[in-house]
């Protein structure tokens, strides 16, 4: 065991080291590319500076040769033209190389140094500042070593020019004559030149060199920072691409048709960014199909990671819990424990039996889905939604019963669809969504395609700000359920007859024993309430009619009487030890004697059933209870 752990640690360390080395190589490559790009731009600037100066020299030289400008000597005019040709040649050479050759910067800088040196030699009083040109140009390369070399060469050339002018003033009549022509007398006073020209200019060279070195260092640091930013951006893009691939891979196919042809599912997800916080999912568990849709409260990579955690957690817990309520309660606890970012997720999840189309759903703060019946009518499956997941402790969601018949289509969606805006800021809205569902064909794929097309046409060129996700499921074939109808006098003796009919029906659908016991308790309680209270105070006893229906996973009973109007659901639902005992699968309810004497009335029924509904129509009470197993 220790060896395996050590091997695993070494493997992880090696992987991290390889990743770090890869990032370092990538960062260095980016840095070199940026330095190369900067060198190309600097070569272009330096070449153009050299061309500009030498063209000016060429114009002055040609003007002097044709007598339009006096430079004192024809030889100087020829020098001007030669210098000009040198600059033009270097610029053309650099242009042909597209300013990219590695050694081009040295050629251009040497050309600038030669031009500035000649200029300063010929015009020592008026062209002192020209020596700062190569210093400034070299700074643009952000290379302190190169800048230092140029500074030293510039100072040496400046020193040589000063020394040559002083020496040649004494030894060369041509130079002395030129100085006299230019009215420059300082070269006859070496001490004056030293104190008032050479030393001050040397100090200026040192100051300029220090400033240039600082600028070069700052420029190099900026390039390094730019390389780091680029490397981080590339890493972020890679991370997002990986997350997108993982996210897409974690979602099931956008279309699935049951091999038996009982149902089909279609879905789409359009994140507003590369990755989003919406999700959908569906999977089989025996004879049940589970399908869900969710919306995380944020966008981008953090939301995508929380989305994948939420979806996987919910799926795992649904597969390993005894009920949908238990699974979602546990999921909320898990998400809340790991939720450091403060995000939450809305969820609508349903579980349906593929044979009967009957199942349960839980709504945690999500928009209610739309149900299109086979006759084309559309309604919302509405309930009082529970709280979001991942935000508060002790969330106890309530499961609700629903049913899909053959030809029905159920559409789950996120608010990105209804909140989609056009160019005038008008929202797509729920009415348009209902219209798209009502006009869609029978298959779910057409429904999703129709939705996307309608929203795109509506939005036009308007930018959307929320993810869009939808899942549609339709049932094509449902096994017929078993039904029975009984009408008996509302007296105690009739209860046994109803119970016998109920048991016969449950036996025909192979109802599990534990569920049958709970159904027996519910039926007995409802019958007892009708017998005891429905016709109380009337001159004679009435009747009670019971419409029974059972399938592979459910039992449904509708009790009808024409007694006093009374809504049994209009009241609080107490929590009692007796209810906990009766709903526990671990405890045995072999007879009604196990329940406390007198029963718990309608509250007991509500606790044992999965769904209760009441309505009063045509002067009759209609009370329906449903149990799912």
pLDDT confidence of residue 267: 95
Any idea of the CA torsion for 532, 535, 540, 544, to the nearest 10 degrees? -80
Asked if residue 406 is part of any domain, the answer here is: yes
Q: What is the CATH number of the domain that holds 423?
A: 3.60.40.10
Question: Is 489 in a helix, a strand, or coil?
Answer: strand
Query: Can you give the three-state secondary structure of 335-370, one letter per residue?
Result: HHHCCCCCCCEEEEEEEEECCCCEEEEEEEECCCCE
From start to end of 201-325, where are the E strands? 255-257, 263-270, 278-285, 288-296
CB 135 within 8 A of CB 209: yes
Q: Give the total number of structural domains in the chain.
A: 3
Question: Does pTM surpass 0.75?
Answer: no
Sign of dihedral through CA atoms 66, 70, 72, 77?
negative
pLDDT confidence of residue 23: 56
Burial class (CB in 10 A: 0-12, 13-18, 19+), 43: buried
Structure tokens at 380: 């919302």
Residue at a domain's end among 475, 503, 530: 475
Asked if residue 18 is part of any domain, the answer here is: no
279 lies in the same domain as 419: yes
Asked if residue 133 is part of any domain, the answer here is: yes
Q: Specify the DSSP class assigned to residue 596.
A: P
CA distances 78 to 57, 68, 72, 74, 254, Å, are 10, 14, 12, 6, 81
> Phi, psi (5° rounding) for residue 608?
-85, -30
Asked if residue 4 is part of any domain, the answer here is: no
Asked if residue 384 is part of any domain, the answer here is: yes
340 lies in the same domain as 197: no
pLDDT confidence of residue 595: 42
CA distances 52 to 49, 85, 137, 249, Å, are 5, 12, 14, 61
- With a cut of 70, list the residues of the chain below it in pLDDT: 1-27, 71-73, 125-127, 338, 537-540, 571-600
285 lies in the same domain as 221: no
168 lies in the same domain as 190: yes
Determine the Cα–Cα distance for residues 138 and 149; give it in Å rounded to an integer. Answer: 9
Structure tokens at 438: 């009502």
pLDDT confidence of residue 8: 42
Determine the Cα–Cα distance for residues 452 and 444; give it in Å rounded to an integer. Answer: 13
CA distances 624 to 275, 332, 567, 602, Å, are 45, 31, 12, 12
424 lies in the same domain as 275: yes
CB 135 within 8 A of CB 175: no
Residue at a domain's end among 199, 230, 261: 230
Asked if residue 340 is part of any domain, the answer here is: yes
Residue at a domain's end among 166, 195, 230: 230
Q: Which domain holds residue 362?
A: 252-475
Residue 620, H or E segment: strand 620-628
Burial class (CB in 10 A: 0-12, 13-18, 19+), 137: buried
Determine the Cα–Cα distance for residues 513 and 515; give it in Å rounded to an integer. Answer: 6
256 lies in the same domain as 211: no
> Which residues, at least 6 apart from 564, have a Cβ–Cβ distance to it below 8 Å?
533, 534, 535, 536, 537
59 lies in the same domain as 120: yes
Asked if residue 436 is part of any domain, the answer here is: yes
Between the two ends of the chain, the Cα-to-Cα distance in Å is: 44
CA distances 476 to 260, 311, 450, Å, are 10, 27, 20
pLDDT digits (tens, 9 = 90+) for 265-303: 999 998 877 777 789 999 999 999 999 999 988 777 777
Determine the Cα–Cα distance for residues 361 and 382; give it in Å rounded to an integer. Answer: 11
522 lies in the same domain as 385: no
225 lies in the same domain as 281: no
310 lies in the same domain as 449: yes
Structure tokens at 514: 């534990």
407 lies in the same domain as 492: no
350 lies in the same domain as 465: yes
Asked if residue 408 is part of any domain, the answer here is: yes
């Amino acid at each position: 065991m220790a060896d395996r752990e050590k091997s695993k640690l070494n493997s992880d360390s090696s992987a991290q080291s390889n990743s770090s080395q890869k990032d370092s190589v990538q960062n260095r490559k980016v840095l070199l590319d940026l330095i190369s790009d900067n060198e190309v731009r600097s070569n272009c600037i330096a070449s153009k500076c050299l061309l500009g100066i030498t063209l000016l020299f060429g114009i002055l030289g040609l003007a002097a040769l044709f007598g339009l400008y006096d430079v004192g000597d024809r030889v100087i005019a020829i020098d001007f033209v030669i210098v000009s040709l040198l600059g033009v040649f270097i610029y053309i050479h650099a242009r042909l190389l597209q300013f990219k050759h590695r050694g081009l910067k040295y050629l251009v800088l040497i050309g600038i140094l030669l031009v500035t040196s000649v200029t300063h030699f010929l015009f020592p009083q008026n062209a002192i500042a020209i020596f700062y040109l190569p210093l400034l140009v070299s700074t643009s390369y952000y290379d302190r070593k190169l800048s230092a070399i140029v500074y030293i060469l510039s100072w040496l050339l400046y020193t040589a020019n000063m020394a040559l002018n002083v020496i040649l003033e004494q030894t060369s009549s041509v130079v002395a004559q030129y100085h006299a022509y230019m009215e420059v007398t300082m070269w006859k006073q070496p001490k004056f030149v030293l104190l008032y020209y050479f030393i001050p200019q040397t100090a200026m060279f040192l100051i300029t060199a220090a400033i240039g070195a600082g600028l070069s260092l700052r420029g190099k640091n900026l390039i390094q920072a730019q390389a780091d930013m680029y490397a981080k951006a590339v890493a972020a893009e890679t991370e997002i691409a990986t997350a997108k691939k993982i996210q897409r891979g974690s979602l099931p196919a956008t279309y699935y048709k049951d091999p038996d042809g009982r149902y089909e599912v279609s879905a789409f997800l359009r994140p507003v960014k590369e990755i989003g916080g919406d999700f959908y999912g569906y999977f089989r568990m025996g004879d049940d199909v589970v399908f869900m849709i969710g919306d995380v409260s944020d966008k981008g990579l953090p939301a995508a990671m929380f989305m994948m955690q939420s979806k996987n957690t919910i799926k795992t817990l649904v597969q390993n819990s005894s009920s949908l309520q238990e699974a979602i309660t546990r999921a909320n606890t898990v998400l809340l424990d790991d939720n450091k970012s403060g995000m939450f997720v809305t969820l609508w999840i349903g579980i349906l039996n593929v044979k009967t189309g009957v199942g349960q759903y839980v709504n945690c703060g999500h928009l209610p889905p739309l149900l299109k019946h086979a006759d084309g009518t559309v309604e919302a499956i509405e309930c009082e939604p529970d709280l979001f997941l991942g935000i508060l402790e002790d969330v106890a969601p309530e499961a609700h019963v629903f049913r899909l018949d053959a030809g029905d289509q159920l559409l789950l969606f996120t608010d990105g669809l209804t909140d989609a805006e056009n160019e005038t800021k008008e929202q797509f809205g729920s009415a348009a969504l209902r219209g798209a569902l009502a006009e869609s064909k029978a298959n779910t794929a057409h429904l999703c395609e129709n939705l996307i097309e309608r929203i795109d046409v509506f939005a036009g060129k308007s930018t959307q700000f929320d993810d869009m996700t939808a899942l549609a499921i339709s049932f094509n074939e449902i096994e017929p359920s078993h039904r029975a109808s009984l009408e008996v006098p509302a007296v105690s003796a009739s209860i046994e007859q109803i119970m016998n009919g109920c048991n016969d029906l449950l036996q025909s659908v192979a109802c599990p024993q534990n569920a049958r016991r709970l159904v027996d308790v519910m039926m007995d309680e409802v019958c007892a309430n009708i017998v005891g209270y429905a016709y109380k105070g009337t001159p004679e006893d009435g009747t009670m009619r019971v419409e029974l229906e059972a399938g592979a996973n459910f039992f449904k009973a509708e009790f009808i009487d024409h007694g006093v109007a009374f809504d049994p659901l209009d009241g609080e639902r107490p929590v009692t030890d007796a209810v906990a005992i009766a709903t526990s699968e671990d405890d045995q309810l072999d007879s009604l004697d196990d329940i406390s004497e007198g029963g718990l009335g309608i509250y007991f029924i509500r606790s044992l059933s999965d769904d209760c509904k009441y309505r009063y129509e045509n002067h009759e009470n209609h009370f329906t209870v449903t149990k799912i197993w």
